Amino acid sequence: MKGFVFHCPGQASWQDVPEPAIEKPTDAIVKVCVVTICGTDLHILRGDVPEVRPGTVLGHEAVGEIVEVGSDVRTVRPGDRVLLSCITSCGRCRFCRDGSYGQCRGGGGWILGHLIDGTQAEYVRVPYADLSAHPLPATVPSEEAVLFADIFPTSYEVGVLNGHVHPGDTLAIVGAGPIGLAAIATSRLFAPERIIAIDMAPSRLEAAHRLGADAVADAHEAPGQMVADLTDGLGADVVIEAVGLPESFELCTRMVRPGGHVANVGVHGKPATLHLEDLWIKNVTITTGLVDTYSTPTLLRLAAAGRLPTGQLVTHTFPLNQMEEAYEVFSKAAETGALKVVLGGEQHAEVAVPAA
């Protein structure tokens, strides 16, 4: 079969790889229907994630069909269409018992396309399939469902729920890439009074407006002042960091009101400065986190009920075998305007059709 293999920083290719097989009684083998590419995959390609060994098939997001299960798999069966979550859960360690699947100590956590072969392939082995593969409601198309492998639960759990968004809140979201945009969509489940999206790219601010931001601000033009003006000088109730840079994190801590929350979602490579000389007295709560995906069944139910605007985040689609082209488009988002790039699915059953 074919898979997208990481060779070394800067080199990866869609090529022949061995078919996966059941290794443990809790494994399943899944035929991949739809996959997507994550910003983290680009980090791996650049060499920023050294624990990914050469030869690993990348990808931690997919929708597929179960084709085989181990002897101890009980909640999914061959033929089931399932969402493969970016997080694998052993279900038995102290973290999994608390629903902190992202911190799993029993062989799970983020392992697909990281410590073991991932989803950007024709078939993939899924450990602990009972807890890591989610049967899909029939009404959610695979091309939309794949967004629930990572960005929807990430923005919801690590941004919206960690940030304690409440009805009537003023919410500022710094960064309107895929995660920030998903945070706009999922925060609206809690009816904030207003959502202010902040980014540098006009195209992303336009997308933020479409997804329901009430106001948008250019990151270069004193967004903190805009938030202060809208809140009688107090600051936002909740600020979500969805960039991953020291300066954007520091902007968040300046924009939050006394008693407010800063929820960090961004993946950071460098330390930030925490201005405790100002913040110690402000009753601020700052949270960080890797997604646990405990909310995935709930979000899928809301998607099936039409409560989440899933479609608007996908800008490009490709057939599965144009993986290299898809990476090219996704990695040059500033030029191509790419948000989420989706591969496979019904419309590419035979041939590639570039999307809008």
Using CB under 8 A, list all residues that contact a second copy: 24-26, 71-72, 74-75, 90-95, 97-100, 102-103, 106, 130-131, 166-168, 188-191, 193-194, 244, 246, 249, 258-259, 264, 266-277, 279-290, 292, 294, 297-299, 301-302, 305, 307
Distance, in Å, from the CA atom of 96 to the CA atom of 92, rounded to the nearest integer, reads 6
The answer to whether 65 touches 11, Cβ cutoff 8 Å, is no
Rounded-to-integer distance, Cα 348 and Cα 270, Å: 40
Smaller CB separation from a second copy, 2 or 268: 268
Taking the complex as a whole, the smallest distance from the CB of residue 332 to a second copy amounts, in Å, to 25
Pick from 219, 214, 221, 216: nearest CA to 205: 216
User: Among residues 272 and 355, whose Cβ is nearest to a second copy?
Assistant: 272
170 and 227 Cβ atoms separated by less than 8 Å: yes
- Indicate the residue among 56 and 186 with the shorter CB distance to a second copy: 186
Nearer to a second copy, 258 or 311 (CB): 258
**Comparison of 258 and 354: residue with beta carbon closer to a second copy:** 258
Closer residue to a second copy (CB): 11 or 273: 273
At closest approach, how far in Å is the CB of 108 from a second copy?
12
Count of CB atoms within 10 A of residue 14's CB?
Answer: 19
In the 8-state DSSP scheme, what is residue 181?
H
CB 300 within 8 A of CB 136: yes
The whole-angstrom distance between residue 64's C-alpha and the CA centroid of its chain comes to 18
End-to-end CA distance of the chain: 30
> Is 118 in contact with 53 (CB distance < 8 Å)?
no
Pairwise CA distance, residues 232 & 228, whole Å: 6
Q: Cβ of residue 99: shortest distance to a second copy, in angstroms?
A: 7
Contact 65, 125 (CB under 8 A): no
The answer to whether residues 253 and 262 touch, using CB atoms and an 8 Å cutoff, is yes
Closest separation in Å from C-beta 59 to a second copy: 19
User: Cβ of residue 195: shortest distance to a second copy, in angstroms?
Assistant: 11
Query: What is the closest distance, in whole angstroms, from the C-beta atom of residue 53 to a second copy in the complex?
Result: 19
Q: Which is nearer to a second copy, 162 or 315 (CB)?
A: 162
Task: Kindly state the smallest distance separating residue 74's Cβ from a second copy, in Å.
Answer: 7
Q: 34 vs 160, which CB is nearer to a second copy?
A: 160
Measured CA distances, 276 to 272, 282, 285 (Å): 12, 9, 12
Q: How far is the CB of 267 from a second copy (least distance, A)?
A: 6
In 14-87, which residue ranges form alpha helices assigned H by DSSP? 39-46
